[in-house]
Amino acid sequence: MALSIEELKAAILKKAQTAPKPQLYIKDFYACDPDSKPRVVKNAANDLVKEGKMMFWSSGSTTMYAMKDRIKDEEGAGGVN
């Protein structure tokens, strides 16, 4: 059975805090609840950004998610966008 939205958000935050890499793709969060549809996971992750608990990190071509205290600003990724 799929997690509730609040449970899913908690699982996403835990993953964002503990993953070895500070920036994660949306697909990295799918494993937080294999029973939730990708679109539900995406909406939960975007809600966490709206709530100020996570941030988007964008290279221009791809967007990743990160905890604010785990990344530094003013970084470039390289590549096309």
Write the CA distances from 52 to 2, 23, 81, integer angstroms.
24, 16, 25
x/- contact string, 9-28, with other proteins (CB under 8 A)? ----------------xxx-
| CA 8 – CA 14 distance, rounded (Å) | 10
Min dist CB 70 to other proteins, Å, is: 11
Q: Confirm or reject binding of residue 70 to other proteins (CB under 8 A).
A: no
| CA 40 – CA 69 distance, rounded (Å) | 25
Interface residue list for other proteins (CB under 8 A): 25-27, 37-39, 42, 46, 49-50, 55-63, 66, 68, 71, 73-78, 80-81
